[in-house]
Amino acid sequence: MTDVQTDLLKVIGGIAVILVFASLIGWALRRFVAPGGTDDAIANLNERVRAWWGMVLLLSLAFLAGRTGVIVLFALCSFAALREFTTLTNFRQADHWALAATFFVVLPVQYVLIGIGWYGLYSIFIPVYVFLLAPIVVALRGDTQSYLVRVAETQWAVMICVFCASHVPALLNLEIPGFEGRNVLLIVFLVVVVQMSDVLQYVWGKLLGRRKIAPRLSPSKTVEGFVGGVASATTLGGCLWWITPFGPLGATLLAFVIALMGFFGGLVMSAIKRDRGVKDWGQTISGHGGFIDRLDSVVFSAPIFFHLVRYGWSMT
């Protein structure tokens, strides 16, 4: 077993311990507080914990499978997220060619470029070439009704679901002196910190939440939950410095940045849902909603994290 696999198993083991503890709490609450299963909050908690077991298992298998496993996993997540996003947009028949190209050309090409490590192209393929060519494809179909809205929605969907999400496996391409062969741990650091920030914001909000931070966007988010969750995730990130090339201070600062970006990502995606009049992006993940509901924080933090690490630690 390699050192990377050993470190991965340590982190996965720690997460498993937390999930076991959460499962026991959920079982106790269901058994002694709401034996009839009538408490919606307790039922939702247990659904979330069960879903986390599945997600952690899937992520763990991808991480242990190495580079190919990680790239394939996030490509599939991008496909699922893009599908969810497009169900809430104003697409018309004239957009079908552009939409098909997005799913079956743009998405796979972006992840192939990630796979071969062509930074000079995967960093501009979508924000330059796709952003310019997609409106041309739509315009050639001749339907001008709500043209600007339709094109903007397509571009936003591709940016969030494909471009931003692809920066997670892109971390595998960074060449960091003394960190060779360990880049998968950068992904572990990013995902653990951002997702734990979401969870801890929820926990702190339930325990101490009083003041709504953005009541019209996300009524469940509170100032206390935000401060407690970001602070706790930042501390967690500092404690995970040993799996990174950053050192304790660098890991703490980067954890703070990505936890903060994750929070704002959640707010932005909540604003889109409110605009569309829906509570969740989908019902794929029990207790969590859709793929975008779980990826919203990651996709906003991943590009920032990638470039901070690239310009601060990498030689590429």
**pLDDT, tens only, 47-102:** 777 777 877 888 888 888 888 999 999 999 999 999 888 888 888 888 889 999 99
Q: What average pLDDT does this structure show over 213-241? A: 88
pLDDT at 173: 95
Query: Same domain for 57 and 80?
Result: no
DSSP 173: G
Q: What average pLDDT does this structure show over 230-238? A: 94
| pLDDT tier, 36 (very low <50, low <70, confident <90, very high otherwise) | low
Query: Same domain for 198 and 310?
Result: yes
Q: Which residues contact 138 (CB under 8 A, 6 or more apart)?
A: 94, 95, 97, 98, 147, 150, 151, 154
Q: Among 20-24, 146-150, 282-286, which stretch is predicted with the lowest mean pLDDT?
A: 282-286
Note the pTM of the prediction, 2 decimals: 0.89
Query: Same domain for 141 and 235?
Result: no
309 and 190 in contact (C-beta within 8 Å)?
no
- Alpha-carbon torsion 146, 271, 262, 99, what sign? negative
| pLDDT tier, 1 (very low <50, low <70, confident <90, very high otherwise) | low
Among residues 47, 65, 83, which one ends one of the domains?
65
Q: Which residues contact 259 (CB under 8 A, 6 or more apart)?
A: 193, 194, 197, 229, 230, 233, 234, 237, 301
11 or 109: which leads in pLDDT: 109
Query: Same domain for 40 and 91?
Result: no
Both structure tokens of 172: 């595998």
180 or 202: which leads in pLDDT: 180
Q: Structurally, how many domains does the chain consist of?
A: 3
| pLDDT tier, 133 (very low <50, low <70, confident <90, very high otherwise) | very high
Query: Same domain for 103 and 152?
Result: yes
Query: Same domain for 184 and 304?
Result: yes
DSSP 285: B
Query: Same domain for 27 and 82?
Result: no
pLDDT at 41: 66
Query: Same domain for 244 and 207?
Result: yes
Give me the domain span that covers residue 163.
Answer: 67-173
Q: Among 39-48, 141-150, 201-210, 225-234, which stretch is predicted with the lowest mean pLDDT?
A: 39-48
Query: Same domain for 156 and 260?
Result: no
